[in-house]
Amino acid sequence: MSTFVLVHGSWHDGSAWQAVVDHLEAKGHLAFAPTIAGHGKSVDKNVNHAQCTQSIVDYIVGKDLTDIVLLGHSFAGTIVAKVTEAVSDRIRRLIFLDAFVLNDGESLRDSLPPHYQALFDSLARESDDYTMMLPFELWREVLLNDADLELARSSYAQLSPQPYQPWIDKLDLKQFYSLPIPKSYLYCTEDNVLPQGEQWGWHPRMSNRLGLFRLVQMPGSHEVMFSDPIGLAEKIIVAGRD
Amino acid sequence: MSTFVLVHGSWHDGSAWQAVVDHLEAKGHLAFAPTIAGHGKSVDKNVNHAQCTQSIVDYIVGKDLTDIVLLGHSFAGTIVAKVTEAVSDRIRRLIFLDAFVLNDGESLRDSLPPHYQALFDSLARESDDYTMMLPFELWREVLLNDADLELARSSYAQLSPQPYQPWIDKLDLKQFYSLPIPKSYLYCTEDNVLPQGEQWGWHPRMSNRLGLFRLVQMPGSHEVMFSDPIGLAEKIIVAGRD
Amino acid sequence: MSTFVLVHGSWHDGSAWQAVVDHLEAKGHLAFAPTIAGHGKSVDKNVNHAQCTQSIVDYIVGKDLTDIVLLGHSFAGTIVAKVTEAVSDRIRRLIFLDAFVLNDGESLRDSLPPHYQALFDSLARESDDYTMMLPFELWREVLLNDADLELARSSYAQLSPQPYQPWIDKLDLKQFYSLPIPKSYLYCTEDNVLPQGEQWGWHPRMSNRLGLFRLVQMPGSHEVMFSDPIGLAEKIIVAGRD
């Protein structure tokens, strides 16, 4: 039996994992899905990356969770890296699910293709609270390319604007890269959010930065927690076992 | 219910889609599989790219098809791009099935690896009508790598020599690239006709030229209409839905 | 009915194929799994690449095997290339299973990433017989990433130290590259032993060196003979058929 802590990506909150959590628990595991500070509906969006990280550290320490398999999805790859620095003694293994693995000193924005940088810069600038909402067309065609339109719409309704500052903050990751914690990279083979290929893709560009890691793959999009939550839960178990 | 128009690749004619059409229709869709001018058995092979395109435009207009999901396989990626320029108001979505997406001003031949250019140049030069027939060994090992020998032989018997001029003609695609029609790229993961990898492969080299597109993948070779027509039909539905 | 000769990789011996051989034979084929000289437990490890090759040639000639589908896994890609030069008239087709395809004049070590060169150089130097044993952590996380810990342990117990000289010997492969024998490359899509990607990966880096070849893929790790022997046997049949 493992203790999973699942950390959501941009525009999401912890409720995105509900079906995955249910399946992990049905299989006898413990699973937690906190919401990052500044994320979710009806909350203050004025947060930076350090505050996001601290909110997950507080959650783990507050519940006194230990021997954790800590998973970060997408943006949360940057969160779990910094959380690991803070509470490394509580973490048994890290799982990066189509997640950003930043080089030391980079921001998430630094690792995006220029057309995405321009799009999200513009959306944040036009907002009144330095957030940006994902256009539905991108959600449907690129993030959730493996779902039908009905699921694309119902899941889009669960999203909320993403604070932009955590994408801009440059992260000191020297300690993260020195920690010997086992790592897995779980890659969904139809994920085209970062354009597939050597220059921009999730895998192997992001994954190879981890050094020694366990590669696990599954069919599916960037948003398999919606399009295939049971398949995802099964692969999380495979990625997270010793 | 969708209206699919499936456009075949080189050496093929519309009959290559029969099993796919049957399955799409069994699922309640309309499906049409015209033969491109100069293609198929016992026809005049003296055609250029514009005549190939016009024959599909004529087919669509002649049947007054509207709200079409228009699919091009392989060579026909170049056809559907030009057809779209002519009848964009009739097209709901484009699907590129392991298909050429040419840069503006290129010919199909321009995007082939040098060893293929040399082979097909030579075959066309040696013919008496500027066509080239695909060697069986290539068909069996590279195009239909996922079939048994019996299917490789029976399907090869359906092929006919390919007019070379449509591979040589350089295409003005400026209008195509300006059209906001939704696009999907359906990639078969064992397709090795264009050598897999960044330099020559179908995906992501060809697919990324589309800009915003929906990626759909399935196992199989370049010729899944023969080796897995039902699986292909199911993925065409996924690639073609809104 | 085919006659398969399966040649194991580094650290292994012929017993690694037992479950695969059983399944091939249950399907009506003949299957042989010789042990390369200097490999296996309790044997003299003082061998070079030529002696490794000769031991497989002797096995094939000794049993008078003809019309062989000859498969090499990993390191044994280098063995079957040289065996083919010696007994090309006995070989119907070659299968490279996540196997090294060296350029003429290269050693296996030449085609490894620098961090692996440093690791294995160091392990061999520290041994008293110029062999190196694979660290368990690499076996579990990278070679057998698709198995549970119990299988990782039981299969690791079957391994033995690998003679380093056959990895160092530079191979003349001019004759191999001149032979018109049909070739297949069978790639397991979760194999991360050579880091995936253009620069170091098995496919398409190694596979494309074969020129015309049949690509076959299956899910799984570098060690599918342990994690999925029946699935592997089925794909060997597909890769090996005419």
**Helical ranges in chain B per DSSP H:** 18-26, 49-62, 76-86, 114-126, 136-138, 149-156, 165-168, 174-178, 224-227, 229-240
What average pLDDT is seen over chain A? 98
Give CA angle at B83 (B82, B84), nearest 5°: 90
Closest CB to A197 among B204, B213, B241: B204
Residue in B137, B196, B219 closest to C203 by CB: B196
Distance CA A48, CA A55 (A): 11
Residues of B in contact with C238 (CB under 8 A): 146
pLDDT of residue C46: 97
Tens of pLDDT, residue by residue over A87-113, are 999 999 999 999 999 999 999 999 999
pLDDT at position A12, please? Answer: 98
What band does A80 get if pLDDT is binned at 50, 70 and 90?
very high
Token reading at C159 = 């391994």
Please, what is the average pLDDT of chain B? 98
**C touches which chains (3+ CB pairs under 8 A)?**
A, B
- At residue A224 the predicted structure's pLDDT band, cuts being 50, 70 and 90, is very high
Test B190 with C241 for CB contact under 8 angstroms.
Answer: no
Q: What is the mean pLDDT of chain C?
A: 98
Which residues from chain A sit within 8 angstroms of residue C198, using beta carbons? 198
Q: Please give the pLDDT value at position C140.
A: 98
The amino acid sitting at B31 is A
Q: Which residues of C touch B196 (CB under 8 A)?
A: 203-204, 207-208, 215
Q: Does the distance separating the beta carbons of A197 and B215 come in below 8 Å?
A: no
Pick one of 3.40.50.11260, 3.40.1280.10, 3.40.50.1820, 3.30.1340.30 as the CATH number of B3-240: 3.40.50.1820
Read off the pLDDT band of A21 (50, 70, 90). very high
Reported as a pLDDT band with limits 50, 70 and 90, residue A178 is: very high
Residue type, B237: I
DSSP string, chain C: --EEEEE--TT--GGGGHHHHHHHHHTT-EEE-PPPTT-STTS-----HHHHHHHHHHHHHHTT--SEEEEEETTHHHHHHHHHHHSGGGEEEEEEES---PPTT--TGGGS-HHHHHHHHHHHHHSSSSEEPPPHHHIIIIISTTS-HHHHHHHHTT--PEESHHHH-----HHHHH----EEEEEETT--SSPSSTTT-IIIIIGGGGSS-EEEEES--TTHHHH-HHHHHHHHHHHH--
> Which of C204, C216, C241 minimises the CB distance to B197?
C204
In chain B, which stretches have pLDDT less than 50? none
**B79-124 confidence digits (pLDDT tens):** 999 999 999 999 999 999 999 999 999 999 999 999 999 999 999 9
Q: Cα separations (Å) of B84 from B92, B173, B181, C29?
A: 10, 10, 9, 52
pLDDT > 90 fraction of chain B, expressed in percent and rounded: 100
Predicted TM-score of the model (pTM):
0.98
Token pair recorded at residue C125: 């130097």
Which residue in A148, A196, A223, A227 has the most chain B C-beta atoms within 10 A of its own C-beta, making it the best mutation to test that interface?
A196
* pLDDT the model gives residue B61: 98
Identify the pLDDT of residue A102: 98
**pLDDT at residue C222 in the model:** 98
Query: How far is Cα of residue A102 from the mean position of the Cα atoms in its chain?
Result: 13
C53 neighbors C139 (Cβ within 8 angstroms): no
Q: Do B145 and C215 touch (CB under 8 A)?
A: yes
**What is the pLDDT, as a whole number, of residue A124?**
98
Is B145 close to C214, i.e. CB distance below 8 A?
yes
Note whether ipTM > 0.85 here.
Answer: yes
**C76 exposure class (CB count in 10 Å sphere: 0-12, 13-18, 19+):** buried
* pLDDT tier for residue C30 given thresholds of 50, 70 and 90: very high
Residue of C nearest to B198 (CA): C198
| Pairing verdict, β C214-218 and C183-188 | parallel
Report yes or no: B77 and B111 within 8 Å, Cβ to Cβ: no
Residues from chain B contacting residue A138 (CB–CB below 8 Å): 212
Band the pLDDT of A173: cuts 50, 70, 90.
very high
Top residue of A95, A215, A235 to mutate, by most chain C CBs within 10 Å, is: A215
Q: How far is CA B116 from CA B72, B239, C53, in A?
A: 21, 30, 35
Q: How far is CA A128 from CA A12, A45, A46, in A?
A: 20, 11, 11
Closest-CA distance, B87 to chain C, in angstroms, reads: 38
Query: Looking at residue A145, what is its pLDDT?
Result: 98
Q: What are phi and psi of B109, to 5 degrees?
A: -55, -35
In chain B, where the domains are located: 3-240
CA distances from B65 to B52, B87, B94, B236 (A): 18, 10, 14, 18
What are the chain A neighbours of B214 within 8 Å (beta carbons)? 141-142, 145
Please name the residues in contact with C224: beta carbons below 8 A apart, sequence gap of 6 or more. Answer: C146, C188, C218, C231, C232
B67 CB-near residues (< 8 Å, 6+ apart): B2, B3, B90, B92
Interface of C with A (CB under 8 A): 137-138, 141-142, 145-146, 148-149, 189-190, 192, 195-198, 201, 219
The beta-carbon neighbor of B189 closest among C207, C212, C217 is C217
Contact C142 A241 (CB under 8 A): no
Lookup result for tokens 């690509």: C215
Per-residue pLDDT at A233: 98
> If you measure CA to CA, which chain C residue comes closest to A202?
C197
The full 3-state SS of C120-150, as one line of letters, equals: HHHHHHHCCCCEECCCHHHHHHHHCCCCCHH
- Per residue in C170-215, pLDDT (tens digit) is 999 999 999 999 999 999 999 999 999 999 999 999 999 999 999 9
Q: Name the closest residue on chain A to residue B219, using Cα atoms.
A: A219
